[in-house]
Amino acid sequence: MIKQTEVSGIPAVIAPTTGPMHAGLVFRVGFADEPLAKRGITHLVEHLALHAFGVADYHYNGATGTEYTFFHMQGAEADIVAFLNGVCRALNDLPMHRLPTEKEILRTEENTRGEGPTEALPLWRHGARDYGVATYPEWGLSGISPDDLRAWVSHYFTVENAALWIAGPAVPAGLELTLPHGERRPAPAPSSALPVRPAFFPGPSNVVAWDAVVERSTSAGVFSGVLERSLFRSLRQESGLSYTVQAAYEPRSGGRAVVTAFADALPEKQGAVLGGFVDVLASLRLGLIDDADVTAVVNQRVEELTRAEENGTRLPGQAFNLLAGRPVQSAAELVAEVRAVTRDDVAAVAAAAFADGLLMTPGRTGADWAGYTPAPSDSDRVAEGNRYGSMDDPELSFVAGERGVSLVNDGSAATVFYDECAVLLAWPDGARRFVGHDGIQVHFEPTLYPNGHAVVPALDARVRPELRATMPSRDPDRIPRPRPAQPAAATSGGGGRTWPVIVLVVLAPVLLFFGFLGLIMGLTAFDDDVDVALEITIAVMFLSFAALAGWGVFWAVRRLRR
């Protein structure tokens, strides 16, 4: 039975457990709160707060998620007290001397982290703000200062923005969570980069992925389970097209939740996997749901709730609920809600999810045939300003204006307006990358444009300083350079390609004229008994002129083809 209490002014949930005692301190801050120019700051705070513990005999950890950051420890009661009190002390006085080292550790961690099959979905759905920020690298690490960290901690890591869970018999003696006071920070309102839904965008050739934002409910959780069963049965058991098929339900603050699903595919089977995936979504949308699937998922959820109640793993979710302003529910209440879910409830969620769906199609396949609209991949406007042609690509040009920048290439454009810029990445060698709120990027390499370095100061001046993220220096070999121009082909008469063209234009008619006359005179000589010798002489002379002209034409063609 979960009980609510308070420790040092922090709301807490506590319940007995059948296993080892464990506890956690959670704060309502995550990737979704970070501006892109400070991407990684919450993760950096987490690492610095845990530095003092080093290698320990007990299990402890920290984690930074989309909406929450928490510190967790499992062990003896005294160890839990020492850990949680130590985390609070570290948050009050972060070890700033560790800043350069921890930044390098985080960069290494990011470099070894693989991209998940559904990782691109938030970027295409939300762009470069709030819930889309987690998709981006931790670009802000280089420029984060001690003052930035102190301001972030005082804003988010406070008594009013924290909650505690304890899986054990009681609040351990000596637990004193000393934190600064502040305010409860609600999760940001989600933005949208999708003008129309359902939508699709192309992804890797070996996976189909999908997500939808729906109303947070027990029915939506059951729907995710039914979706996984339906996809698994269709794509693996019946058709043998996929090996891994999964679906998940992630509740969010603000009464919303995200349902995600994916299925892997062989490149040569991508069309079949996409078709099967889309068919399952359409069937569920139309209410073609097996009662047996709903019953199986409901029973599974009830069993999971029972186990979670026994070992205390339901407590972190209830602590998150406290920070989201949601009531703490007993296991019995949750079980009753799950058992009340019907096939019609699941069908209603399926219809709403289909309408909001975002589909990642494999490779170059599309889904417009299934009623999905292509998600925007370029801009419908070009900034007004000075245009600079690329020295490396004649089809590419960069536009720098008073209101924004654009890259224009073969009729398509990528545009970022300064008042819609999420971050400006700045490299010491002068390279600049603008990322718009919609996720569109414009990258400028000054080495590839005439007087490119002279353009950079004007670009920097038009973007607010807080949106700038300084990037590490690049190896000089990685700085792009224009390809060297091909030297003009030399000719005996000079003039590059001019003389061969002139020779071809003059001699081609000569070849045709004298060649034709020579053939006519030769044929006439065989049919005429008078002046045969003269006619043959004239034919040979004409054919000789044609041969000389033909040699000139041959020479000109060879020169032009070099």
DSSP sequence for 89-135 = HHHHS--GGGHHHHHHHHHHHHHHPPPPTTTTHHHHHH-SSGGGGGG
With CA atoms as reference, report the closest residue to 478 among 435, 449, 454, 445. Answer: 445
Per-residue pLDDT of the chain (562 residues; tens, 9 = 90+): 899 999 999 999 999 998 899 999 999 999 999 999 999 999 999 999 999 898 666 689 999 999 999 999 999 999 999 999 999 999 999 999 999 999 999 999 988 887 889 999 999 999 999 999 999 999 999 999 999 999 999 999 999 999 999 999 999 999 999 999 999 999 999 999 999 999 999 999 999 999 999 999 999 999 999 999 999 999 999 999 999 999 999 999 999 999 999 999 999 999 999 999 999 999 999 999 999 999 999 999 999 999 999 889 999 999 999 999 999 999 999 999 999 999 999 999 999 999 999 999 999 899 999 999 999 999 999 999 999 999 989 899 999 999 999 999 988 999 999 999 999 999 999 999 999 999 999 999 999 999 999 999 999 999 999 999 999 999 999 999 987 755 544 434 444 566 677 766 777 787 777 777 777 777 776 666 666 677 777 777 777 877 787 777 777 776 665 4
| 62 DSSP 8-state letter | E
User: CA-to-CA distance for 261 and 241, rounded, in angstroms?
Assistant: 16
With CA atoms as reference, report the closest residue to 158 among 221, 88, 64. Answer: 88
User: CA-to-CA distance for 372 and 377, rounded, in angstroms?
Assistant: 15
User: CA-to-CA distance for 214 and 216, rounded, in angstroms?
Assistant: 6
With CA atoms as reference, report the closest residue to 425 among 461, 455, 460, 469. Answer: 469
User: CA-to-CA distance for 262 and 248, rounded, in angstroms?
Assistant: 9
**Residues 329/296, Cβ–Cβ less than 8 Å:** no
- CB count in 10 Å sphere of residue 562: 9
**Residues 361/367, Cβ–Cβ less than 8 Å:** yes
- CB count in 10 Å sphere of residue 450: 12
Task: For the chain, give percent helix, strand, coil, nearest 5.
Answer: 45, 20, 35
- Tokens for 186, please give them: 């609600």
Q: What is the pTM of this model?
A: 0.84
Instruction: Determine the length of the chain.
Output: 562
* Cα dihedral across residues 131, 134, 135, 139: positive or negative: positive
User: CA-to-CA distance for 421 and 408, rounded, in angstroms?
Assistant: 18
**Residue 245 phi, psi dihedral angles, 5° rounding:** -135, 120
| 495 DSSP 8-state letter | S
pLDDT (0 to 100) of residue 193:
96
Helix (H, G, I), strand (E, B) or coil at 475: coil
- Tokens for 86, please give them: 């130590």
